[in-house]
A and B are shown apart, each in its own frame.
Chain A
Amino acid sequence: MIKPLALRTWSFLKSFQLTIVLLALLMALVVLCTLAQVEMGTQGAVNAYMRSFLVWKHFASVPFGVPVFPGGALVGLLLTINLIGKTLDIKLSWGRSGMWLVHAGLVILFAGEFVAGMMQVDTQMSIEVGQTVNYVQAYKNMELAVIDVTDPKWDEVYSVPDTLLAKGDPIAIPGTPITVKVKKYFPNAELTTLVPGAEPSLATAGVGTGVSVVGIPVVSADNEMNQTSAFVEFTAGGRSYGTWLASVALGAPQSFTHEGRTYAISMRLRRQYLPYAFTLKQFRHDVYPGTQIAKNFSSLVQVVNPSRQESREVLIYMNQPLRYEGKTFYQASFGKNDTLSILSVVENPGWLLPYVSCVLVSIGLLVHFAIVLRRSLKRRQDQKEG
């Protein structure tokens, strides 16, 4: 009973009919994802349509999300299984070696997209001319940075991710006596000056005592940024240091001192510090003569890595990224009258897989062509002789 059912399922999974349906779904997903980018932004749409197993929609009448379409991850997974099933059906012989290589290449291509979808980390690095930067920062994700600034040379940076703040549980900062209690967390908020008669602020210390915070819907478009904010209470050694408002919209420095150590607090884009630093020596923005049409953007950076005793100049320009220590730095944008360069930083452990796939598919097609040609020539020869 179970065996025939399993066999039937397996035959369905590797059928050509399923291939056609899945390819059609993939095409529909590409169109839907492209259209969704208008409202959700590139990353938001890719995450919702391509890198999810199901596409969820929220309807006003239903309190929870409803799956409305298979996501790219589900379609991709089924296509991979379908392809593997088809590949296993190919006879294992020298005559079919080209087909094996082509199919193996395609499977690796699909696997590469899964690795990218699950493990790729996209960040950016903004550097002004003359400035040295030793961190990359997220596009959207935030962190509550609690920084021990006591040492005159070093900062001890403790980064509490927004995802942890959203859970609302008390957060002990390892290596310090500090505990952060999240009183209220806003993924996106609007800040206004507290007017007389309004409900008092939750903050009891810092700038936040004079600010009113109202939660607003989260934005995901490329040119919008959530004003992530939180009322957080800091306690250490059984003593409370008050409830503070930490918000991306606040630039004012806020800090408290516990047992001689000063801790600065701020909400900011999530940072990842690097064991090396980039100094932007020159930024060029060339245009075609007589026009404002961009011809070239390039950043001349000095890469300094003490652990490798390395200090060298690198020119990063369009289509010529720098691959360094597992990260790829692309010239992405610029600003501030051409004195600010923005590098898009991609960390993808599977970046080689598409190249491997292309090579395998190319070799496979060549091998298959050679085999078919040889067979065809042999047939002609046989016909002549016959």
Chain B
Amino acid sequence: MPNPPTSPRSKYALPVSLLAVAGVAVLSLGCRADQVAHYRVPKEAAASHPDHPGHAEESMAAPAGADLPAPPVPTGQGALKWSLPKGWSAQGGSGMRYATFQSPVAGKLEATVVVLPGPAGGELANVNRWRNQIGLPPLDEAGLAKARTVLKTKAGALNVYDFTSDGQARSRTVAGYIATADGNTWFLKMTGDADPVAKARPDFMRILESIHLD
């Protein structure tokens, strides 16, 4: 039976080569992620994170993205106020989210208020973003005007949109869009499965009708 190698040269060869392999691996990994990647992907039927990519406040135990710092929200005279129907409640938001409504209606439904400075990309782009989130194709300016219902409120004219997706599991979005005098744009949006959204719609419309400036 041969004995194990005993010459010092062969004894060092293994650990030295191990160190060399580890070093090369470290160097190669250091350069790995620093390149622009390209993907060609089908258009998303529904965005996983409707209003911002962090989107974790809805998640009870999300591994990342919770507790975003306070949003850049207007206070005082520029802020919108509303009256809540019976059974509804509102919580302060996080990230760019100004508030989240809790409705008494059971089922998959989410109602939020988001405020952004300036025109926030424009009405058409935002409406198309909402449509994209429920798998609907984009509208042009003419289609936008056709889909728009204008609601007169104490805070000014509120543009309301109501879209329902096709298919077996239908989703629906009801959203109000208003630009305030201080230059901010407000989005009051309710989205979810078509049935619970339909049930909660009358109350949500009452919230939209009630908005006024602080």
B92 at the interface (CB under 8 A from A): no
CB-nearest residue of chain A to B116 = A252
Could you say which of A126, A210, A344 contacts B117, with CB atoms under 8 Å apart? A210
For window 140-163 of A, CB contacts with B under 8 Å fall at 140-141, 149, 152-161, 163
* Pair A92/B38 contact, Cβ less than 8 Å: no
Residues 203-225 of chain A, each 1 if its beta carbon lies under 8 Å from chain B, else 0: 00011011110001000001111
Within the complex, the shortest CB–CB distance from A251 to chain B, in Å, comes to 4
State A85–B5 Cα separation when bound (angstroms): 11
* Pair A227/B68 contact, Cβ less than 8 Å: yes
B143 at the interface (CB under 8 A from A): no
Residues 170-213 of chain B, each 1 if its beta carbon lies under 8 Å from chain A, else 0: 01000000000001100000000000000000000000000000
CB-nearest residue of chain B to A340 = B59
* Pair B62/A248 contact, Cβ less than 8 Å: no
Number of interface residues of B (CB under 8 A): 73
CB-nearest residue of chain B to A210 = B117
B120 at the interface (CB under 8 A from A): yes
Which stretch from A3-11, A16-24, A31-39, A312-320 is at the chain B interface?
A3-11
Within the complex, the shortest CB–CB distance from B122 to chain A, in Å, comes to 8
Residues 9-47 of chain B, each 1 if its beta carbon lies under 8 Å from chain A, else 0: 001101100110010011001000111111111111110
* Pair B61/A248 contact, Cβ less than 8 Å: no
CB-nearest residue of chain A to B182 = A193
A289 at the interface (CB under 8 A from B): no
* Pair B43/A339 contact, Cβ less than 8 Å: no
State A140–B33 Cα separation when bound (angstroms): 14
A132 at the interface (CB under 8 A from B): yes
For window 173-212 of A, CB contacts with B under 8 Å fall at 173-175, 190-194, 206-207, 209-212
Could you say which of B3, B5, B67 contacts A223, with CB atoms under 8 Å apart? B67
A362 at the interface (CB under 8 A from B): no
State A129–B2 Cα separation when bound (angstroms): 64
* Pair B41/A157 contact, Cβ less than 8 Å: yes
For window 38-85 of B, CB contacts with A under 8 Å fall at 38-46, 48-54, 56, 58-74
Contacting residues, chain B, for A135 (C-beta < 8 A): 41
* Pair A154/B40 contact, Cβ less than 8 Å: yes
* Pair A194/B117 contact, Cβ less than 8 Å: yes
Q: Which of B12, B19, B74, B184 has the most CB of A within 10 A?
A: B12
State A156–B53 Cα separation when bound (angstroms): 19
A353 at the interface (CB under 8 A from B): no
* Pair B38/A333 contact, Cβ less than 8 Å: no
Contacting residues, chain A, for B56 (C-beta < 8 A): 225, 335
* Pair A332/B45 contact, Cβ less than 8 Å: no
Asked whether A223 and B66 contact (CB < 8 A) given A248-B53, A253-B129, the answer is yes
Contacting residues, chain A, for B110 (C-beta < 8 A): 336
Could you say which of B36, B41, B74 contacts A173, with CB atoms under 8 Å apart? B36
A164 at the interface (CB under 8 A from B): yes
Contacting residues, chain B, for A164 (C-beta < 8 A): 34-36
Given contacts A206-B121, A224-B67, 6 further A-B contacts (CB under 8 A): A124-B63, A131-B46, A131-B48, A155-B42, A207-B118, A252-B126
Which B positions have Cβ atoms within 8 angstroms of A? 1-5, 8, 11-12, 14-15, 18-19, 22, 25-26, 29, 33-46, 48-54, 56, 58-74, 95-96, 108, 110, 114, 116-118, 120-121, 125-126, 129, 137, 169, 171, 183-184
Cβ contacts A to B, 13 pairs, < 8 Å: A131-B46, A154-B40, A206-B121, A211-B72, A222-B64, A224-B66, A248-B54, A250-B96, A251-B95, A252-B121, A253-B125, A273-B39, A336-B110
